[in-house]
Amino acid sequence: MGKKRTIVLKDPKLQRIRNNLRQVLIKAVQDIRHKLRSDINAISRDSEGRLRMNIDDSESVELQRLKDIQYQLNEFTDKSICYCDSCKQINKDMIYNLTLERWYCVECSEEFRDHYFQQEIRKQKGEFLGDYHEYFFKSFA
Ligand SMILES: [Zn+2]
């Protein structure tokens, strides 16, 4: 049973501000993502959009630098509190799952926790659980 951090806002005004801030952050990251993609394409593709075969050393270094930023941005997005890692909604109260290092909305977290306990009961009855991702569901218990 992991420690959990839940962030709940009850005031609708604060919820609106939170949701707007999340939207601004998501939009800013999308803009950076688009800029990165076009910078990467400017180096790696020719004017007709075909992959270039003759990239020189300095271009190769720059390409790697841009791809590193892209990777970090994906990591940042995956771990963001801006949206639930399961349902991707941005207007929810979130719970941090320490095991998975991701934020999930309260509704998804409760659903996964309930599923875990249902599966535990089935397991105790000796039922076959099939392709059940226990590690994932247990992290919500
Ligand atoms: Zn969710």
Cα of 70 to ligand 1 centre, how many Å? 25
CA dist 16 → 9, 20, 84, 93 (Å)? 10, 6, 17, 12
Cα of 103 to ligand 1 centre, how many Å? 9
Cα of 56 to ligand 1 centre, how many Å? 45
Tens of pLDDT, residues 14-48: 999 999 999 999 999 999 999 999 999 999 999 89
CA distance 41 to 67: 11
Percent of the chain with pLDDT over 90: 84
Q: What is the pLDDT of residue 131?
A: 84
Cα of 37 to ligand 1 centre, how many Å? 28
What pTM was estimated for this model as a whole?
A: 0.81
Cα of 134 to ligand 1 centre, how many Å? 19
CA distance 9 to 110: 17
